[in-house]
Amino acid sequence: MKAMLAISLKKQKSLHWTHHSRNKMRYYRLSEARVKRVLRAPLRIEEGIVPKTVAYMQQAGSKARPTEIWAMVLDEPQRRKVITAWRYPGKSPVRNPVPFAILREVSEFLRADEEA
């Protein structure tokens, strides 16, 4: 008798790409998959410059020519809107990181949602 494996998949919000984000991705030679990877596994999360937005960062490039890939996102109830994406040459200074308490609260909410 084979054991059944129950997998709980959390429903992810669909991504909406603005014209601006698509143009910037083309300019900086970033694919949709690369930006999605930044959103899934960011190295740093900061408050966006635009109100109610969050900026996600992931390192890229090489040791000799380090770069960072950034994506700015606006979370809406039904979807996640990618406002813009860019490649920063070098290492950017740390700016307004999202407070740890808020990150912990969001992760607890996601865990509770997965269990339900």
- For 24-45, write each residue's pLDDT tens digit: 999 999 999 999 999 888 888 8
Mean per-residue pLDDT for 9-22?
82
86: three-class secondary structure by DSSP? strand
Task: Count CB neighbours of 82 within 10 A.
Answer: 25
What is the rounded CA–CA span in Å between residue 57 and residue 26?
18
Q: What is the pLDDT of residue 51?
A: 84
What is the rounded CA–CA span in Å between residue 115 and residue 62?
40
> Tens of pLDDT along 51-89?
888 899 999 988 999 999 999 998 888 888 999 999 988
pTM of the predicted protein model = 0.71
